[in-house]
Structure formats: C-alpha cells, structure tokens
Amino acid sequence: MQFTAHASSSRGNCYTVESGSTRLLLEAGLPIREIRRRLGFTLSGFAGVCVTHEHQDHAKAVVDLLRSGTPVYCSAGTAAALGLSGYHLHILADREQVQIGDFRVLPFATQHDAAEPLGFLLADATDKLLFATDTSYLQWKFRGLTMIAIECNFAADLLPADMPTSQRARLEGSHMSLAAVKELLGANDLSAVREIHLLHLSREHSDAERFQREIEGATGMPVWVEEE
C-alpha cells in the first residue's frame, strides 16, 4: 500500500492511497482542476473518493467529482450537508465495512463540528492504514496497523494566551493536538507500523520540526510531516 499527500492544510486536503490495481482519493478539498493537475490530469483510474466530512477544505470538489462519474463514499450526514445524490453516491455507516477494489474500508465516527464525520481504516492483503483528520480524539483502538496518517493540528502551549474562549473551545473540541496524537499512539500496538504521517497542521499553532521530533521520539518510527 502506498499513501501520498497532495495537499494537507486548512487551505485544502487531498491524499491518495494505492494497492494493486486500485487507486483511491481520500478527501477532495481542492478545486477539481487543481486535483487533476496534481494527479497528472486524469481521474479515470480512481475507484472513488472517500470523504470524511462536508467542510470545503475536505470536500470542495466532491460535487464535480460526482457529476463526472467518480464514485463518492461518505456518511449520510455528509451527503445531506453537501446536497449529494445519484447513482455514484455510496453511503457509509459507522463501523460497517465496505469493499472498494482491493481495499477493505472500515469507516468509524470521529469528533468534529460537522454533520456526521468519519475516519477510515483501509486494509489490503498486507497493510492496514489508519486515516483520521479533523477530530479531537479517537475512541477506538486499532489492531494490526502498518501505516498511520493522523491529524496533528496544534500544540496547547502554542495557543496564544489571549485567544478568545469560544475559538479555543472550538479548536480543542474539533481538532487533534500533539498531546492527543501521542496518547492515541501510546494506546495502540505499533509493533508492525512502518510509517507515520502527520496531517493538517495549523499554520498558526504548530511547529513541524518539533512535532516530527517528538512523535519520532515517542514511537521510534519514521515520521513524515505533510505540509502543502
């Protein structure tokens, strides 16, 4: 399995995961023209796009993709929030596994200020990828992980002291902090993990070098910080 970040920030998120003959998009938070440019000007080889939630930095191109015939996989809440319908729309439910080409995809509920946000556990014959972004924490433990792509949005000590209470509450209640990532990784068996990707860092409240250093120190695993 191969995971690639093409955009990872509040300005837009788009990732691909490939296994065997199957290529999937994870998120479509850029204009469709830009997605095509970054992916080599073609989307015909993709089995679909899995979308975590309706916010535009994750779903900007979803309507265009659906209209072009690309299968879209998301929750009923996300579909309703985006006004999606049609033959190529596939509704996902919390912890109900689906098969998409060579991937077994298990959606699971996340914690974000969206209609019905999801994360995804993607498995093929040899690998298992945990993909979760825009969530304050994950309530589940995961077995047999070999790859992790997880939001690491901010560090609490980097938040300004004069940040409005409402803004701080929204951030802490809907995005994953460095401390939360460490807690998540510590709660799961990482013995088979070969790579960790840190996603969706805040422009104002993160430190890429520090985050990479601290997660590598906590896990002993290779860590990539994905920045646009």
Number of residues assigned to the chain: 228
**pLDDT, tens digit (0-9, with 9 covering 90-100), for 70-97:** 999 999 999 999 999 999 999 999 999 9
Percent of the chain scoring above 90 in pLDDT: 96
The CA distance from 48 to 23, in Å, is 8
**Pairing of the two strands 118-123 and 103-109:** antiparallel
Mean of all residue pLDDT scores within the chain: 96
Beta strands in 82-124 (DSSP E): 89-92, 98-100, 103-109, 118-123
Q: Please name each of the domains of the chain with its CATH number.
A: 2-225 (3.60.15.10)
Contact 135, 111 (CB under 8 A): yes
**Pairing of the two strands 89-92 and 22-26:** unpaired
Contact 93, 106 (CB under 8 A): no
State the pLDDT at residue 147. Answer: 98
The CA distance from 208 to 39, in Å, is 25
Burial 13-48 (b: 16+ CB within 10 A, else e): bbbbbbbeebbbbbbbbbebebbeeebeeebeebbb
Does 188 have pLDDT greater than 80?
yes
Contact 219, 213 (CB under 8 A): no
**pLDDT, tens digit (0-9, with 9 covering 90-100), for 99-114:** 999 999 999 999 999 9
State the pLDDT at residue 168. Answer: 94
Does 143 have pLDDT greater than 90?
yes
CA atoms within 13 A on the CB side of 65: 33
- Taking the alpha carbons of 71, 77, 81, 85 in that order, is the dihedral positive or negative? positive
Lookup result for tokens 């439910």: 93
Model confidence band, residue 149 (pLDDT cutoffs 50, 70, 90)? very high
The CA distance from 118 to 24, in Å, is 16
pTM above 0.75, yes or no: yes
Does 227 have pLDDT greater than 90?
no
The CA distance from 154 to 45, in Å, is 35
Model confidence band, residue 41 (pLDDT cutoffs 50, 70, 90)? confident
Does 15 have pLDDT greater than 80?
yes
